[in-house]
C-alpha cells in the first residue's frame, strides 16, 4: 500500500516523456532521447529527477517490503519488467549481475537491485524468487495486486504496462524498458535504457556510491 496521497500529485508532476513504453521483443529507441549530458556519468540524465515511491509491496518471500525503508543507505537500481520477457528484461538483469561481480565489495555491497513486476497475474512471489535466483540471489523481486502495481508505475511517472495478445492465451507486456538508479536520497537522476549495460554501471555505480549524483 502507499503511505501518502502525495503520489497523485507526483504522478502528474513527473513526466518521463523521453522514454517510450516498449514491449519485450520490440525496439527501444530511448538512447536517442537523452535529456542531458555529463561526461562523468554514462547513464541518461532524466529531468525532472524521479522520486522513489513511498510504497509497501510483497517481496519474493511473500513478505511486506517497505521500499524506501529497505533501500535506506543504498544505491538502488530499480527496473519494472516481467519474468516472461524474452529479451530486454533478462538482458538488463544479466548485465547488472555481471557488473556487480566485477565491482569491489565496498561498492557492490552498497547497491540493491529491485525488480518490480508489471505482470502480477503471472509473477507470484515464488515465480519471482526462482527467476531472480538465476541472476543473483540478492536481487529483490516485488509484486502485488494489479491496481497496486499500476499505481506504483504511475507514481514513477510511467504509463501502466499494457498487454499485446500473442494468441493461445499468451501475451507480451508493454513496459518502460530502462533501469532507474536511485541514490541514497531516494531520487533517480540517471536511467539506463535498453542498450546500456556493464560499461555504464561499472563507470557510474562507484561514483553514485561514493559521492552520489553531482552534476557539473
Of the listed ranges 86-90, 113-117, 125-129, the least confidently predicted one is 86-90
What is the number of domains present in the chain?
1
Cβ atoms of 78 and 68 closer than 8 Å: no
pLDDT at position 170 is: 85
Peptide bond into 30 cis (omega under 30): no
| Tens digit of each residue's pLDDT (9 = 90 or more) over 172-187 | 888 888 999 999 999 9
25 within a domain of the structure (yes/no): no
69 within a domain of the structure (yes/no): yes
189 within a domain of the structure (yes/no): yes
* Structural domain range at position 127: 44-208
Mean pLDDT value across the chain: 84
Q: Decide if pLDDT at 15 tops 60.
A: no
| Tens digit of each residue's pLDDT (9 = 90 or more) over 152-171 | 999 999 988 888 888 888 88
Burial class (CB in 10 A: 0-12, 13-18, 19+), 69: exposed
Dist CA 197 CA 121 (whole Å): 29
pTM: 0.83
Domain CATH code at residue 107: 3.40.30.10
Q: Which residue has better confidence, 58 or 178?
A: 58
Q: Supply 108's cell numbers.
A: 557492490
Amino acid at each position: 500500500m502507499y503511505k501518502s496521497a502525495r503520489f497523485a500529485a507526483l504522478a502528474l508532476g513527473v513526466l518521463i516523456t523521453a522514454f517510450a513504453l516498449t514491449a519485450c521483443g520490440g525496439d527501444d529507441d530511448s538512447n536517442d532521447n537523452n535529456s542531458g549530458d555529463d561526461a562523468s556519468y554514462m547513464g541518461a540524465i532524466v529531468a525532472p529527477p524521479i522520486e522513489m515511491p513511498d510504497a509497501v509491496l510483497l517481496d519474493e518471500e511473500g513478505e511486506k517490503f517497505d521500499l524506501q525503508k529497505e533501500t535506506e543507505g543504498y544505491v538502488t537500481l530499480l527496473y519494472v519488467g516481467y519474468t516472461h520477457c524474452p529479451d530486454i528484461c533478462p538482458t538488463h538483469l544479466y548485465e547488472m549481475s555481471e557488473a556487480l561481480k566485477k565491482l569491489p565489495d565496498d561498492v557492490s555491497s552498497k547497491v540493491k537491485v529491485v525488480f518490480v513486476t508489471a505482470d502480477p497475474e503471472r509473477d507470484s512471489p515464488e515465480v519471482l524468487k526462482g527467476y531472480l535466483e538465476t541472476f543473483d540471489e540478492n536481487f529483490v523481486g516485488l509484486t502485488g495486486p494489479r491496481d497496486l502495481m499500476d499505481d506504483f508505475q504511475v507514481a514513477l511517472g510511467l504509463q501502466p504496462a499494457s498487454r499485446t495478445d500473442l494468441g493461445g492465451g499468451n501475451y507480451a507486456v508493454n513496459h518502460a524498458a530502462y533501469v532507474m538508479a536511485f541514490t541514497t536520497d531516494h531520487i533517480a537522476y540517471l536511467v539506463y535504457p535498453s542498450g546500456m549495460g556493464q560499461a555504464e554501471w561499472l563507470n557510474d555505480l562507484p561514483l553514485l556510491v561514493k559521492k552520489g549524483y553531482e552534476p557539473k
